[in-house]
Chains A and B, each alone.
Chain A
Amino acid sequence: MHQAIGKKIDPLITWRPEYCKRCFTCINICPVKNLMFQDDEMVSLGKCIQCQLCEKYCPDFTIEVPPRKEDKK
């Protein structure tokens, strides 16, 4: 079986509600306070700087953010 597909809550951010335990770690680790919950759904305020801290600290493979273009090289 494969990983759940998840939702695009932002052109950059994929969130998988099936795996999310609502621990709020991503929300508190985000340096620009981009993420928040609205009625049990995660929303993005469109400020993502692609630092990927939410992805790194998420214990449940819930959030995914692609790396910045210049970091890829």
Chain B
Amino acid sequence: MIYKDYVKWDRMPTNWCPGCSIGTVFRHLTLALEKAAVPREQMVVVSGIGCSGRAAGYFNVDSVHVTHGRAIPVAEGIKRSNEKLKVIVFSGDGDLVGIGGNHFLHSARRDSDIKVICINNGIYGMTGGQMAPTTPFGEKTLTSPFGTSYAPLNIQGIVTSNARYWYARTSSYHVNHLLKCLGEALEWPGFAFIEVMSFCIENFGRRQGFKNGFDMLFKLKQDYKLNPKPDGLLKNHELGVVKNVGQAS
């Protein structure tokens, strides 16, 4: 099976804005599925609400587009009822760690065997660019016109506070690293969380003075550096994988 078989072509083009990199991540996920040779009948994609959440509808496999924030519990339920399936969650930051934060916390704690891909654009993109729990400190958004006064959520800290974890931070600019992380996550037996640093041009970037999607893409290149062998946890602005095969005690 090649990557094109995982895409629902009659739904193309996608409704993501021109220059939005969710499509790039979507494409690389299909490539990773091709590499891992996951049969189409043995996988499910679950998405919540948001721009990133539209991805479930573009997969030519069984997929569920669930209510806002509930992608992780639905995925966990599917996995528990049929252990053979590979269950992938593809959703946004506001969906997974904002409204769905508590589900995320506990699925990570239970180490349920689902692969979570979180497009972190630091904003509630679909609803117009409101401040999200992941918005970087001091950024101007629709609901924080003078800059946010809160620090963003430490997703890595939440995942790695468990005994057994797999966490990757990657970006939609570093596509080779992204593909590698997606492949590794598909193989990991347990809760795998990939935070894909991304951007939103129309509802966030324009307010910061960016003119085009690719300008924000090149900013990701400047902002993030790869760390192939992290010593402990990843620092801010570092991309890499941290994992621990320890047993829950």
Q: Which residues of A contact B (CB under 8 A)?
A: 1-4, 18-25, 28-29, 56-61
Contact = CB atoms under 8 A, between A and B. Distances in A.
A22 B18 contact: yes
Contacts of A19: 12-13
A13 to B, nearest CB: 17
Interface residues of B, number: 24
B161 interface: no
Contact of B24 (A2, A4, A20, A59): A59
A56 B7 contact: no
B18 A28 contact: no
25 contacts: A1-B10, A2-B9, A3-B4, A4-B9, A19-B12, A23-B19, A23-B213, A24-B19, A24-B214, A25-B214, A28-B218, A29-B217, A56-B24, A57-B24, A57-B217, A58-B27, A59-B14, A59-B19, A59-B21, A59-B22, A59-B24, A60-B12, A61-B7, A61-B12, A61-B23
Contacts, number: 63
Nearest to A59: B23
Interface string B13-42: 110111111111011000000000000000
Given A3-B9, A19-B12, A28-B212, 8 more contacts: A1-B10, A4-B9, A18-B12, A28-B214, A57-B24, A59-B20, A60-B12, A61-B7
B9 A24 contact: no
B175 interface: yes
Contacts of B4: 3
A20 B16 CA distance: 12
A21 B12 CA distance: 11
